[in-house]
Amino acid sequence: MLGNDRIPKICLQTAAWGCASLTFGVLVFMAWLSIPVLRASDTVHILTLPWLPGQGQFGIGPMILGSLYISVLSLIMAAPVSFGAAIFIRITRPGTLGKFFQHLVEAMTAIPTVVYGFIGIFLIVPLIRETFVQGSGMCILSAAIMLSLVISPTMILIFSQSISSVPRQYTIAVEAMGATPAQKFLMIILPCAWKGILTGLILGFGRAVGDTLIALMISGNTIDFPRHILDSARTLTAHIALVTAADFDSMEFKTLFVCALTLYLLTCVGVFFARAAGKRQ
């Protein structure tokens, strides 16, 4: 029996090392293909200057700023709603009603992103245009609203799982001491579940910054630096989708690997800070 236990262990170790190697290999692949672009132009210029291919300038600064604008704003919108929904499912109404809403949220995760995009075009964009009477309505705010709906189901499920993982004996003890629901939440549930909540925020940010269709359909896709949430913007993912049809040997196409590398590093930075925050506690 002991000999047979080695086989699952070896399989799991192989799978873990395979996933790690694949992740690292993708990073090396993108970095290697980005070298010609980084050699041909100053790295700082590529990351900060605008996209003007007609003038030989292939900066992705507007796309980086647009990605950060839309993803951070959508996370700000989605986080409190997702947290409140998770509390409702696990604490306020943990019975039949809570399970019904959990199944509803699980179903929302299966809705294709393009459906959210169409809803945004026909509902959110006209609403923003008529409310603010500025531009076409295809802007950062419209994209962030719809993107917050896309990332909320995932965040709700992660938050809900984190809250449910709090040991039951802890909550029973504080209830026996006469703690109010608010005190129980602040003193027990939040301190015990905060790492899972932080994980949900990081995954939500990664989902937001990596989404393509919402930004492609709703954000306006202008290549100027956005200065306001009502300005149109282009994200890194939308830029990759729009420029993919360029000649493979052109500098426009080669710059896409820098965009992909930037997206990869943005997600890695978020994970790094999350792990660093966890180790300090």
pLDDT of amino acid 277: 62
What are the pLDDT tens digits along the chain (281 aa)? Answer: 445 678 888 888 888 898 889 888 888 888 888 888 877 777 777 888 888 887 878 888 899 999 999 999 999 999 999 998 988 888 777 778 888 888 889 888 888 999 999 999 999 999 999 888 777 889 999 999 999 999 999 999 999 888 888 887 887 888 788 777 777 778 888 888 888 888 888 889 888 998 889 999 999 888 889 888 998 999 999 998 888 766 777 778 888 888 888 888 888 887 777 677 656 55
For the entire predicted model, the pTM comes to 0.85
For the chain, domain boundaries = 61-280
CB 230 within 8 A of CB 139: yes
Read out DSSP for 183-224? HHIIIIIHHHHHHHHHHHHHHHHHHHHH--HHHHHHSB---S
pLDDT of amino acid 281: 52
Read out DSSP for 67-131? HHHHHHHHHHHHHHHHHHHHHIIIIIS-SHHHHHHHHHHHHHTTS-HHHHHHHIIIIIHHHHHHH
The listed CATH number (3.40.50.1700, 1.20.1050.90, 1.10.3720.10, 3.90.1150.10) that belongs to domain 61-280: 1.10.3720.10
- Summarize pLDDT for 60-73 with one digit per residue, the tens: 889 999 999 999 99
pLDDT of amino acid 29: 87
- Summarize pLDDT for 12-26 with one digit per residue, the tens: 888 889 888 988 888
pLDDT of amino acid 45: 77
pLDDT of amino acid 243: 84
pLDDT of amino acid 245: 67
